[in-house]
Amino acid sequence: MSGQKELDACKQAAAVKAAEYVHDDMILGLGTGSTAKHLITALGERVRQGLRIRGVPTSEETAELARQFGIPLNETEGAWDLDLAIDGADQVDPRLNLIKGGGGALLKEKIVAAAARRVIIMVDYTKRVPILGHPFPLPVEVVRFGWGNVAKQIETMGIKPVLRERAGRTFVTELQHYILDLHVDKIADPVDLDARLRQIPGVVETGLFVGHTSLLIVGTPQGVEVVNR
């Protein structure tokens, strides 16, 4: 099995396992990204077999895929009482702290995670790291007004921020913000860094997810590993 096919198989295995935690009448937060696509596929099959659930999507991409698989969705502009949120991550450390936001949906994902009673994170084995940071940048969502000043304040912390671009254009989130990707060698104290960044006027949210994860599901070539907090 080639490397990419192996990783995709690991993601799928983690997603299928995560779907086992979903039961009738649950309201779910549905994550965004490649592993979340496998989750929605698995849930869609169960919905066809009679599973009764409703979802809150964290992106338009997730919403469209959920509709294709017949998963009913709640309105996103209300208040929800979520039984469970299931999502992927870009990095996860031994304390189950995360970096998320590689796909640009970090603000919606954090709002959903904060609203859920439990949060299941599903990853392939390459996303587990001894310490968060390099080589994956830390995304920080910022308002467009004065984003350069926000970047300058971040630079005073000894961190290099890079304005995210896609196809030669500045990347704009679904909520119409910019993303600064912060290149940090080692994030020794995610709680402290998250707090300091969010104190900067213009920072909307960071891609550090600290204390949210209830259960980690890891797809590996040898099988699926489940890690409880």
Q: Give dist(CA 164, CA 175) in Å, integer.
A: 15
Q: Give dist(CA 132, CA 152) in Å, integer.
A: 23
Known catalytic residues? 109
b/e map 156-174, b = 16+ CB within 10 Å: eeebebeebeeeeeeeebe
Statement: the pTM of the whole predicted model exceeds 0.85: yes
CB atoms inside a 10 Å sphere around CB 105 = 27
Separation of first and last alpha carbons in the chain: 32
Residues 37-66: what's their mean pLDDT?
97
Listed ranges 2-11, 70-79, 155-164; the one with the highest mean pLDDT:
155-164
pLDDT band per the 50, 70, 90 thresholds, residue 160: very high
Residues 119-127: what's their mean pLDDT?
98
Residue 12 has pLDDT above 80, yes or no: yes
Residue 152 token pair: 């300058």
Residue 1 has pLDDT above 70, yes or no: no
User: Range with the lowest mean pLDDT among 1-5, 53-57, 169-173, 212-216?
Assistant: 1-5
User: Which domains occur in the chain, in start order?
Assistant: 3-128+210-228 (3.40.50.1360), 138-206 (3.30.70.260)
* 180 touches 147 (CB < 8 A): yes
